[in-house]
Amino acid sequence: MHPMPFGAEVQTDRRVRFRLWAPTHEEVAVELDGKAIAMEPVDAGWHELITNSARAGTRYRFKLPDGLRVPDPASRYQPEDVHGPSEVVDPAAHRWHDADWTGRPWQEAVIYELHIGAFTPEGTFQAAIGKLDHLAALGITAIEMMPIGDFPGLRNWGYDGVLPYAPDSSYGRPEDLKAFVEAAHARGLMVLLDVVYNHFGPEGAYIHPIAPPAFTNRHKTPWGAAINFDGPDSGPVRDFAIHNALYWIKEFHFDGLRLDAVHAIIDNSPQHLLEELADRVRAATPGRHIHLILENEENEAGRLIRDRNGAPRWYTAQWNDDVHHVLHVAASGETKGYYADYKGNTDKLGRAFAEGFAFQGELMPYRGRPRGAPSAALPPTAFVAFIQNHDQIGNRAFGDRMANFVPAEAMRAIAAVYLLLPQIPMLFMGEEWGAAQPFPFFCDFGPELADAVRTGRREEFARFPEFADPAVRDRIPDPQAEQTFASAKLDWHDLMREPHSRRVDWHRRLLSVRHAEIMPRLAGVRAGGEYEVLGDGIVLVRWALAPGGTLTLAANLAPTAAPGFLKESGRILWLEGESDENGTFGPWTVRWSVEEPLLRESASTALDALAERMGIEARYQNARDETIEANAETKRSLMTAMGVHATDGTEARKALEGLDRAEWLHPLPPIQVLRADTRTLNGIAAMFRDERGTEIPDATVKNV
């Protein structure tokens, strides 16, 4: 349970405390079972009531002086949607069974973004539990859930939420969400939540009449007046956002958050809201792996800085739109909008792979102003790489996925790049099997907004030549139509059909290479790599590994063959496409390799002996019946997971000696000596020596 200074909270004596910040109202009441009970005004605009007339399950509203009845802005559950009453929830009633779960290190993250409503036919938390085994078997280690804060209607992407503490009732109750998180943890899956602190949605945002000072006209956002994070009366507003972050992490056991469009959070305070939020989250969660992720159009590298130990000072990583853009342009050839700034610029391609941001302070023509900051000093894990997400699919007119307009060989090439990059990869739901379902924008606003949303969506595309004709724009799916939402639901039957099943197997094999070869090395990649442009769409990127060695990406992301690649001197991890002995790469060819420093023979021998002693096979057959040799790094990682640390030959020999000692000291099974003379006993004794080589005396043998 996370205690909060607002909302409805069940006390230890089972009474319920109601608390609301309504600074412009002298009188506020709580309505319980149709009866209004006056709240007590307290300092600084707060109103409070502690009563034994409510309990868990009681529905309530706040009543303002003008008679307006409103839900609780900090409601934990809205059984009748955003315009209905709130429900008192006792979070202590849930019994958790994941006490041993502390999360996973960030370098182990392979993220899967999903929308609860479209992920399964049922569209609920409970139904999603049934798909967790699929994700675990695929190689996913983290789920990123699109926003679930209560929104108006039965369907929405989630970014129009107005009650950020209440899981939307169309997905299930709070207990169902907790069951989902717990089930994910049981399978080794982290769960991250997308949260929105830059605006409230256009319908049902009763925070406006409750607390007008929560907004300010001093700053403007795409949604109108900004949330007041830095002016008079901003303290409770900042707390509302920060407590929300703490609430999801502590009360629901989420492993981290992704903060939506933080460039639209305007704060001129001495300490920006983003820094205070991160400081308080990290201070409140000692001993847990908590990951905070940003979406930030400004590409501010300073928010991602690390401390001297390599740990994030504030934010763990940022969605890297630049990697998406360079890969999308390479594979599709599209040049509309911001894609024009990446087309034909292979330097941006190499830079995004090696250093994270493609724009690092240079003018971005599409924006008409500079973008980004130098990022080469950041570790690659400070960036989340992807080729599809909800925005990049859903912001297309028809919500079509890349597999519908990009050749299959190009899709495999760009996937082989981003899924093995030292950056953290993220798939969008259904990507692993090439889902045919689109992901269009959908919502379910009331009649006052429906026409405006429908018209606005179509007018958005009027500036593009292919949509100049109104008749063509009319073909754009109606975001308000139930069918638009239904079209986005994944068809899980496709998993059993070709070519989808083959694509799933390909992704599973590729992610198994990431687990075995890339993840164990990420802690040793403390900064960006170096890149070389070899031609249009052709790059060579190298990352230095600690304590030595190099990870290399050689890629021809073009539809024509490319000569000039050197023969790989290291060990090839993955080859997608074709290459010949003369250094010519075929179209859409990607090669990942690693070159490691030679270990002393004695060190290698000791490590191999220790691995064999612990049952680790030196070579094995993969799903394609290929023989794979387990390298030294893989053996070390597996032994570490088994509780044995051997980073070099000396430690390997010590571990072997420890195993020998434990084996010698293990009690012998009892035996029965029937007849023996002294000479026989002395002979037996000579066969036994302790760990120092000292002969065991006769008496020890006689006492066996």
How confident is the model over 501-551, as pLDDT tens digits? 999 999 999 999 999 999 999 999 999 999 999 999 999 999 999 888 999
Residue 131: helix, strand or coil by DSSP?
coil
Q: How far is CA 180 from CA 77, 189, 290, 581, 588, in A?
A: 17, 11, 18, 51, 39
Name the burial class of residue 200, with classes exposed (0-12), middle (13-18) and buried (19+) by CB atoms within 10 angstroms of its CB: buried
Query: Residue 598: pLDDT above 90?
Result: no
Q: What is the pLDDT of residue 621?
A: 66
403-426: average pLDDT = 98
Strands 363-364 and 369-370: antiparallel
Q: Which helix (H) or strand (E) covers residue 134, if one does?
A: helix 132-138
Cβ neighbors of 410 (< 8 A, separation 6 or more) are: 330, 331, 332, 557, 559, 588
Q: Retrieve residue 405's tokens.
A: 């307009």
Question: How far apart (Å, rounded) are the C-alpha atoms in residues 456 and 450?
Answer: 10
To the question of domain 7-92 being in CATH 3.30.1780.10, the answer is no
CA 691 to mean position of chain CA atoms: 50
Q: Retrieve residue 144's tokens.
A: 């990123």
Structural domain boundaries in the chain: 7-92, 109-491, 598-666, 667-704
Cβ neighbors of 540 (< 8 A, separation 6 or more) are: 531, 532, 534, 552, 553, 554, 555, 565
pLDDT grade, residue 397 (50/70/90)? very high
How confident is the model over 297-310, as pLDDT tens digits? 999 999 999 999 99
Query: Residue 681: pLDDT above 50?
Result: no
**CA-angle at 238, arms to 237 and 241, nearest 5°:** 90
Question: How far apart (Å, rounded) are the C-alpha atoms in residues 579 and 478?
Answer: 47
652-676: average pLDDT = 62
Q: What is the pLDDT of residue 496?
A: 93
Percent of the chain clearing pLDDT 90 (strictly above): 80
Q: Which helix (H) or strand (E) covers residue 530, if one does?
A: strand 530-535
Q: Retrieve residue 227's tokens.
A: 């949330």
Question: Is the Cβ–Cβ distance between 385 and 412 less than 8 Å?
Answer: no
Q: What is the pLDDT of residue 622?
A: 66
Active site residue 295: yes
- 61-70, 460-469, 662-671, range with greatest mean pLDDT: 61-70
24-36: average pLDDT = 95
Percent of the chain clearing pLDDT 70 (strictly above): 91
13-22: average pLDDT = 97
Cβ neighbours, 10 Å, residue 635: 22
Which amino acid is present at 441?
A: F
Q: Retrieve residue 171's tokens.
A: 């997905």
Query: Residue 241: pLDDT above 60?
Result: yes
Question: How far apart (Å, rounded) are the C-alpha atoms in residues 691 and 704?
Answer: 18
pLDDT grade, residue 667 (50/70/90)? low
Query: Residue 459: pLDDT above 60?
Result: yes
Residue 312 pairs in a beta bridge with 306
Question: Is the Cβ–Cβ distance between 515 and 627 less than 8 Å?
Answer: no
Report CA dihedral (638, 642, 644, 645) to the nearest 10 degrees: 40
When mean pLDDT is compared across 45-49, 251-255, 626-630, the lowest value belongs to 626-630
pLDDT grade, residue 345 (50/70/90)? very high
Residue 519: helix, strand or coil by DSSP?
helix
Q: What is the pLDDT of residue 596?
A: 84
How confident is the model over 356-390, as pLDDT tens digits? 999 999 999 999 999 999 999 999 999 999 999 99
Say which CATH topology domain 109-491 has.
TIM Barrel (3.20.20)
Alpha helices per DSSP H over 146-232: 174-186, 207-210
When mean pLDDT is compared across 155-164, 178-187, 607-616, 624-633, the lowest value belongs to 624-633
CA 655 to mean position of chain CA atoms: 36
Q: What is the DSSP string of 394-424?
A: HTSTT---GGGTS-HHHHHHHHHHHTTSSSE
- Averaged confidence pLDDT in the chain: 91
User: Tokens 């002298």 correspond to what residue?
Assistant: 26
Q: What is the pLDDT of residue 168?
A: 98
Strands 383-385 and 424-428: parallel
Residue 639: helix, strand or coil by DSSP?
helix
Question: How far apart (Å, rounded) are the C-alpha atoms in residues 422 and 385?
Answer: 9
- Which of 455, 395, 401, 405 has the alpha carbon at shortest distance from 432? 401
> Dihedrals φ, ψ of 413, to 5°?
-65, -50
Active site residue 260: yes
Cβ neighbors of 311 (< 8 A, separation 6 or more) are: none
Of 251, 255, 295, 494, which is the active-site residue?
A: 295
Q: What is the pLDDT of residue 693?
A: 42
Of 194, 251, 255, 260, which is the active-site residue?
A: 260
How confident is the model over 690-700, as pLDDT tens digits? 433 444 444 33
Query: Which region holds residue 253: left if phi is over 0, alpha if psi is between -120 and 50, else beta?
Result: left
Through-space distance between the first and last CA atoms of the chain, rounded to whole angstroms: 58
Q: Retrieve residue 516's tokens.
A: 């075995």
pLDDT grade, residue 213 (50/70/90)? very high
pLDDT grade, residue 278 (50/70/90)? very high
Report CA dihedral (262, 266, 270, 272) to the nearest 10 degrees: -20
Query: Residue 191: pLDDT above 80?
Result: yes
How confident is the model over 61-70, as pLDDT tens digits? 999 999 999 9
Q: What is the pLDDT of residue 631?
A: 80
22-47: average pLDDT = 96
User: Tokens 């430690």 correspond to what residue?
Assistant: 651
